Chains A and B, each alone.
Chain A
Amino acid sequence: MRRFLGALAGIALFGGIAFFLLTMPRGLSSREIAALSEGDAARGETWFWAGGCGSCHAADRAKGEDKLTLGGGHVLATEFGDFVAPNISMHPEDGIGAWSTADFVNAMKKGVSPDGRHYYPAFPYASFTRMETSDVVDLWAFMRTLPEVEGRAPESDLAFPFDIRRGVGLWKLAFLDDDPVVEVPFDDPVLRRGRYIAEGAGHCAECHTPRGLGGQLDTLRWMAGAPVADGPGNVPNITTGEGGIGGWSVADFAYYLETGFTPSFDTVGGSMVSVQDNMAMLEPADREAIAAYFLALPALASAR
């Protein structure tokens, strides 16, 4: 009996150590940190709009300049519980004003906080991880120009076992991958630019792709539509498959990103309004590149 209990204890101890080691937050190496340069805020503004920071971190339904006020508080109510977007203004205590460049890159690309904890992937670093470090550094330079907002947002309120933050380490081992998802010709700069924006900063898949049991994106149904995470209705299929955007041209898609009107002049609605407002802030060439990417995706029928 004693030996059995002893063996059990040994297994538990081994399991605990393995869990601890496997889930250790991994940030940038010291060499990578040393190589970080000064960012360019003007270039960084592109990534602010492409990434849609203000759509989650500013007040609900904020428009225009108000999207630069990043006090947090938006609640994403999901089956895992309520995720609350934090204050990411330049306030040194209530926001991220005291962060270093490395802190910001670690958050965006590795999902790790300055005090070494995992972020929940409701913060879409699983997409942002595909961004070039230099673009993230430029974005940080732009963020540094934004105002301070007082007041911390409430903590996220998650159901057991998702409230064990350390467990996200296992999720990352299984699902965090900075490789591109869709193959694109090496010599097509427009498609490559479109993929870079859509699969990275744009994080379109986080809403438009269905998820598996672990909350990970189902890459076999890439951009083919999914239930809305925090409300009624469905997020549309934006491949050219049945139920999607078959019949749209690249110009149609780019026009939608610019104006919010589909080819049949239906209007954008729901959470996409905020996204489309962001897309309208991009260069026309970037909207066209994004459009080219979506028109080139494998055509998948909507799940119903």
Chain B
Amino acid sequence: MQKILMLATVTAALTLPAFALEDVVTTRKNLMYSNNASAALAGAMLKQEVAYSPEAGKAVLSSLNATSMAFGDYFPEGSGAGDTKARDTIWSDPEGFQAELVKFQTSAAAGNAVGGREGPADLAAFQAAVLPVLDSCKTCHEGYHVPE
């Protein structure tokens, strides 16, 4: 009986971290897909393919702000293997990655503040609020995301 308990404990100890890592990868992927959706709506409005409304602008900006606050917490050591596009530079260059996170957070917070709870009043205000956030997508993906 003791042997079985021991075996079960050791197996759990070895596999639970793997499950936890899987959760971490899934969560951060979903946060990023949410960013993608925000960018898509922002882009459609900036291209004037979709009519701008302050509600839609607010949805985009508050969503980007929220994910920017959480995203950086989902990159523990060891989560770079397997089905992920996270690049090894995240862990070999943590200061650089942190700097990109901060850029995302500060631009998203600043954008989210524009227009208060109602959001930016018009497309021009929205453009000024959202473009710096969208620019932070590029620079982080430049160094910390595996292409294709």
Contacts and interface: CB of A to CB of B under 8 A. Distances in A.
* Closest 8 pairs (CB-CB, A-B): A269-B141, A265-B40, A233-B147, A273-B142, A270-B147, A267-B137, A234-B148, A265-B39
Interface string A224-267: 01001000111110000000000000000001000111001111
A264 B44 CA distance: 10
Contacts of A272: 147
How would you classify the secondary structure of chain B's contact residues: helix, strand, loop or mixed?
Answer: helix
Interface of A: 61, 225, 228, 232-236, 255, 259-261, 264-274, 276
Interface string B57-100: 00000000000000000000000000000011000000000000
A276 B60 CA distance: 24
Given A260-B138, A268-B138, A269-B138, A233 B148 contact: yes
B40 A273 contact: no
Interface string B5-46: 000000000000000000000000000000011011001000
Contacts of A267: 39, 134, 137-138, 141
Contact of B36 (A264, A270, A271): A264
B143 A61 contact: yes
A266 B147 CA distance: 12
B110 interface: no
Nearest to B135: A260
Interface centre among A233, A260, A267, A276 (most CB of B within 10 A): A267
Contact of B40 (A234, A255, A264, A270): A264
A140 to B, nearest CB: 30
Interface of B: 36-37, 39-40, 43, 47, 87-88, 134, 137-139, 141-143, 145-148
Nearest to B37: A265
Given A232-B87, A260-B138, A261-B43, A269 B36 contact: no
A266 B146 contact: no
Contacts of B141: 267-270, 273
Given A236-B147, A268-B141, A271-B147, 20 more contacts: A228-B147, A232-B87, A232-B88, A233-B146, A233-B147, A234-B148, A235-B147, A235-B148, A260-B138, A264-B40, A265-B43, A266-B36, A269-B138, A269-B141, A270-B141, A270-B145, A272-B147, A273-B138, A273-B139, A273-B142
Contacts of B37: 265
Contacts of B36: 264-266
27 contacts: A61-B139, A61-B143, A232-B146, A232-B147, A233-B147, A234-B147, A234-B148, A235-B147, A259-B134, A264-B36, A265-B39, A265-B43, A266-B36, A267-B134, A267-B138, A267-B141, A268-B141, A269-B145, A269-B147, A270-B141, A270-B142, A270-B147, A271-B147, A272-B147, A273-B139, A273-B142, A276-B138
A76 to B, nearest CB: 16
A69 to B, nearest CB: 19
B40 A236 contact: no
